[in-house]
Amino acid sequence: MSKEKVILTGDRPTGRLHIGHYVGSLRRRVELQQAADYKQMFVFIADAQALTDNIDNPEKVRQNVIEVALDYLACGLDPEKVTIFIQSQIPELCELSFYFMDLVSVSRLQRNPTVKTEIQMRGFEGSIPVGFFTYPISQAADITAFRATTVPVGEDQKPMLEQANEIVRRFNYIYGDTLVEPQILLPDNAACLRLPGTDGKAKMSKSLGNCIYLAETADEVQKKVMSMYTDPLHVHVQDPGHLEGNTVFTYLDAFCRPEHFERYLPDYPNLDELKAHYTRGGLGDMKVKRFLNNILQEELEPIRQRRKMFEKDIPAVYDMLRKGCENAREVAAQTLADVRRAMKIDYFSDAQLIAEQAARFAAEQ
Ligand code: ATP
Ligand code: MG
């Protein structure tokens, strides 16, 4: 670890943030911020990316920008330590994507497993917007424009980081050493790599409507926990239960800490014992769900409280975003100046080029 680290991540403003974002990336960002072991940290709201599959619903994206910003602040991201900005306000990102498009083949994009799944999920098959299809390229631009070294994200982003690295290597090979290869920082807890939805589906995702949102009221959270997918074979309390694909236990893996047992379930010393009892039979879903609910409420309550506080001064949040955009734009502009120089499209800032051309044409006269 060195102070040379540049950390960057983003979220699509397609809805409020949920506990999948939290365990997959947001919690890590706050920890990184606390550790203060970085040169710069950027967190951005990917509105341009959100438009790639919401082109006819700009109002949804517009409304959710502030929701995501509030979720950031509620989780503890501090604009004094982290530059928070909105993607569309940095035109340099668009320019960089345009150059990167020449470095990636269509077949390479078609092989991206995350894009494949997302195309299916959205029913795009025959009519994929080009912007959506190419979003791994624009994501590479988002990362490299800020010379990010470290990208804390969920597992679904692995193919994006691989794509970004390929682009960087290809760019540097052709144009000389200019861009930085980013490294993915995955959650170290397996349950957090890709938190399933409350319906048991593979991924909690705004687009699937199976989320517990960070800003939800205590009652709403409780209702969702109590109706969560568990083990369809565990019908009676005495039946042996299964842990595999059991969402309640996956969430416990993601959120439970030893002290939670002392506070909420002192009959059990730890999660392993709870799991063993469930597997043996004789432990009802309701008891486990109530335990999970207590844990989630404890984690979410301070987030809800902080959000309420920031909601009281919305103009200040926009002001914070505007300043973040200005700072981010300066950094991206520097990278773009290097990129243009490397790509030999910096005509007017290259006095030597003009002098050489003048001399060449003079000699031909
Ligand atoms: P959408 O459905 O609009 O794509 P999303 O819920 O997938 O939304 P994103 O904005 O695409 O959310 O993802 C933002 C970040 O949160 C990424 O780093 C992603 O890896 C992480 N993330 C999203 N969902 C999960 C999840 N269920 N588990 C772990 N990490 C997640
Ligand atoms: Mg997503």
**Residues with Cβ within 8 Å of residue 324, at least 6 apart in sequence:** 79, 83, 84, 85, 86
Is 250 touching ligand 1 by the criterion CB < 6 Å? no
**Residue whose C-alpha is closest to residue 144's, from 179, 103, 109:** 179
Q: What is the number of the ligand 1 atom nearest to the C-alpha of 194?
A: 28
Q: What is the pLDDT of residue 304?
A: 97
Q: What is the pLDDT of residue 1?
A: 43
Q: What is the pLDDT of residue 123?
A: 85
For the record, the structure tokens of 74 come out as: 């509620």
- Cα 205 to ligand 2 centroid, rounded to whole Å: 7
CB–CB of 148/42 below 8 Å?
Answer: yes
Q: Please give the share of the chain, as a percent, with pLDDT higher than 90.
A: 87
For residue 202, give the ligand nearest its CA: 1
DSSP state letters, 116-179: HHHHHHTT-GGG--HHHHTHHHHHHHHHHHTT-SEEE--GGGHHHHHHHHHHHHHHHHHH-S-S
Is 194 touching ligand 1 by the criterion CB < 6 Å? yes
- Per-residue model confidence as pLDDT tens digits over 206-264: 878 899 999 999 999 999 999 999 999 888 989 999 999 999 999 999 999 999 999 99
- Position 89 pLDDT exceeds 60: yes
The neighbouring-strand residues paired with 9 are 43
- Position 2 pLDDT exceeds 60: no
**Residue whose C-alpha is closest to residue 23's, from 157, 195, 217:** 195
Q: Is the dihedral of CA 228, 231, 236, 240 positive or negative?
A: negative
Q: What is the DSSP letter of 269?
A: S
The residue nearest atom 7 of ligand 1, judged by CA position, is 205
The residue nearest atom 16 of ligand 1, judged by CA position, is 21
CA–CA dist 64, 237 (Å, integer): 42
The residue nearest atom 25 of ligand 1, judged by CA position, is 20
Is 29 touching ligand 1 by the criterion CB < 6 Å? no
Q: What is the pLDDT of residue 121?
A: 84
CB–CB of 184/153 below 8 Å?
Answer: yes
Residue 232 DSSP SS3: coil
- Per-residue model confidence as pLDDT tens digits over 170-213: 999 999 999 999 999 999 899 999 999 999 988 898 878 899 99
The residue nearest atom 6 of ligand 1, judged by CA position, is 205
**Residue whose C-alpha is closest to residue 41's, from 356, 327, 361, 359:** 327
- Cα 327 to ligand 2 centroid, rounded to whole Å: 26
- 154-178 mean pLDDT: 96
Q: Where are the alpha helices (DSSP H) in the chain?
A: 19-21, 27-35, 47-51, 58-75, 91-100, 106-110, 113-121, 130-133, 135-145, 158-175, 190-193, 218-226, 247-255, 258-264, 271-280, 285-311, 314-342, 351-364
Beta strand extents in the chain (DSSP E only): 6-11, 40-45, 83-86, 150-152, 183-185
Q: What is the number of the ligand 1 atom nearest to the C-alpha of 26?
A: 16
- Could you give the dihedral angle defined by the CA atoms of residues 21, 34, 41 and 144, in that order, rounded to the nearest 10 degrees? -60
Which residue carries 């109002």 as its tokens? 59
Q: What is the number of the ligand 1 atom nearest to the C-alpha of 196?
A: 27
**Residues with Cβ within 8 Å of residue 193, at least 6 apart in sequence:** 24, 154, 155, 186, 187
- Cα 89 to ligand 2 centroid, rounded to whole Å: 21
Averaged pLDDT of the chain:
94
Q: Which of the listed residues 8, 17, 21, 44 should we mutate to test ligand 1's pocket, taking the one with most ligand atoms within 8 A of CB?
A: 21
- For 198, other C-beta atoms within 10 Å of its C-beta total 22
Is 203 touching ligand 1 by the criterion CB < 6 Å? yes
Is 138 touching ligand 1 by the criterion CB < 6 Å? no
- 326-336 mean pLDDT: 98
For residue 122, give the ligand nearest its CA: 1
- Cα 348 to ligand 1 centroid, rounded to whole Å: 42
**Residues with Cβ within 8 Å of residue 260, at least 6 apart in sequence:** 291, 294, 295, 298
The residue nearest atom 5 of ligand 1, judged by CA position, is 205
Farthest CA pair distance, the chain: 98
| Model confidence, pTM | 0.94
Which residue carries 């029913």 as its tokens? 123
Is 20 touching ligand 1 by the criterion CB < 6 Å? yes
- Per-residue model confidence as pLDDT tens digits over 13-66: 999 999 999 999 999 999 999 999 999 999 999 999 999 999 999 999 999 999
- Per-residue model confidence as pLDDT tens digits over 313-327: 999 999 999 999 999
Residue 142 phi, psi dihedral angles, 5° rounding: -55, -45
The angle formed by the CA atoms of residues 219, 69 and 57, to the nearest 5 degrees, is: 90
Q: Which of the listed residues 7, 8, 11 should we mutate to test ligand 1's pocket, taking the one with most ligand atoms within 8 A of CB?
A: 11
For residue 24, give the ligand nearest its CA: 1
The angle formed by the CA atoms of residues 307, 309 and 315, to the nearest 5 degrees, is: 95
